[in-house]
Structure 1
Amino acid sequence: MKGFFITIEGLDGAGKTTQIKFLKEYIERRGYDVVVTREPGGTPISEKIRNIILDKENSEMCPKAEALLYAASRAQHTTEVIHPAIKAGKVVICDRFVDSSLVYQGAGRSLGLEAIKNINDFATNHIEPNLTIFFDISPEITVERIRESKEIDRLEQEEIAFHYSVYNEYKNLANKYSNRIKVVNANNSIDNIKNDIEIVINKLLEA
């Protein structure tokens, strides 16, 4: 059985976690072995790097260091989890992948998409998702959700302009890579979002 690599993208607070749980259960009912993971993180080493990246005490971290830390975490994650699972015929569902670095560091930190793509191509051996689902929702809504629900991390505390830069670049990527990136309206109800995602997944698995 051929493995698949599915990534879930969107702003923090877009509702990704809830839908990933539904998606895992849906694909398992189709007869696939599913691995759910996240970025930054997914392995013990990668989780330690995650803690460094998101720690609010690391306010002096420069954008290049941030981008390289994400890539380092991703290199370990790809080698240890993603590549082996796909090779074994499993479906990998990853909460964030390279697209997140393109939008957060490439656009949000103004490092440029080409530089971010190059370091991540090196980190991942050029692996690309079979499918990316982008949760489209306004930054105002997601920022309000985050700040009401939990203590915010270093990136979440950025000003709204930063989150808009990230959001707009997500939209650009969705237009540029429309064959891979499928957009779902994350303003909809949980059930409607779930149904929209299942339609997208069916097309992938049936192909």
Structure 2
Amino acid sequence: MFFSFDGVDGVGKSTQLDLFCRWLDQQGRDLVRCRDPGSTELGEAVRRILLDGFSIPIHRRSEMLLYMAARAQLVDQIIRPALAAGKTVVCDRFLLANVVYQGYAGGLNVEQLWNVGRIATDGLSPDLTILLDMDVRQARQRVTREPDRMESQGIEFLERVRQGFLAESQCQNERIVVIDAARDIDAVQADVQAVAARLLAPKGAEA
């Protein structure tokens, strides 16, 4: 089973990921956690360039292709082998984030991004994407660390990101579940676990 988590920065994604992975471990799941970009030597190098390398000028298409290259490596090196071994994979962001940040918010063609993304992932998609949603101004107030390249682009950019996520959730409502992240941590996690439990339940075991 392959889960991904997404949302604008500040929605509490890392906290919810930690709690979710702890819950899966308590369920006895053999778990692999990863992040996109990252988790491979290539992916971490790309991450440093894309998110921390403010001094490096990067064209939008170059940026997009670097994300895709990191994702291709992540799929081939970590995600597919883990799934083939029967493990549960939980990923911090995946292709959806690329489409939303570079497409809806960044101005690249959304359909082309999906097409290139399918090549990079060899057609692999998460079984479920947990989309944590809240007002972007409220989310931004929660961010205490220094903003990365994406986060530093301003509130209007982040609003386009949020609306892009919500638009895709309407198009893919069987795979993307929107959860209100403005509530307390435990309430959000309860919803995350409830949605995941339905997917993880053995066939015929659901009420």
Superposed displacement of residue 198, structure 1? 0.9
Whole-Å Cα distance in 2 between the matches of residues 144 and 30 of structure 1? 34
Q: Which amino acid aligns with 2:190?
A: N
Identify unmatched segments of 5+ residues in structure 2.
none
Superposed displacement of residue 119, structure 1? 1.2
C-alpha RMSD over aligned residues: 1.0
Whole-Å Cα distance in 1 between the matches of residues 70 and 84 of structure 2? 20
Identity of aligned residues (%): 35
Q: Give the number of equivalent residue pairs.
A: 201
Counterpart for residue 140 of structure 2: 143
Q: Residue deviations 1:32-84, cap 9 Å, x none?
A: 101111111111111001101112212x2111111101001101111100010
Counterpart for residue 2 of structure 2: 5
Q: Residue deviations 1:129-160, cap 9 Å, x none?
A: 101100011111222222xx111111110021
Counterpart for residue 172 of structure 2: 177
Counterpart for residue 20 of structure 2: 23
Normalized against structure 2, the TM-score is what? 0.94
Whether 1:196 aligns to 2:194 is no
Counterpart for residue 35 of structure 1: 32
Q: Which amino acid aligns with 1:161?
A: E
Counterpart for residue 78 of structure 2: 81
Counterpart for residue 124 of structure 1: 121
* Bigger mean CA offset, 48-57 vs 22-31: 22-31
Counterpart for residue 162 of structure 2: 167
Normalized against structure 1, the TM-score is what? 0.94
Superposed displacement of residue 9, structure 1? 0.6
Counterpart for residue 91 of structure 1: 88
Whole-Å Cα distance in 1 between the matches of residues 146 and 22 of structure 2? 29
Match of 1:106 among 93, 103, 108: 103
Identify unmatched segments of 5+ residues in structure 1.
none
Whole-Å Cα distance in 2 between the matches of residues 88 and 114 of structure 1? 32
Whole-Å Cα distance in 1 between the matches of residues 147 and 6 of structure 2? 19
Q: Which amino acid aligns with 1:56?
A: F
Q: Residue deviations 1:111-140, cap 9 Å, x none?
A: 021111111111110101101100011111
Structure 1 counterpart SS, 2:72: helix
Structure 2 counterpart SS, 1:82: helix
Counterpart for residue 186 of structure 1: 181
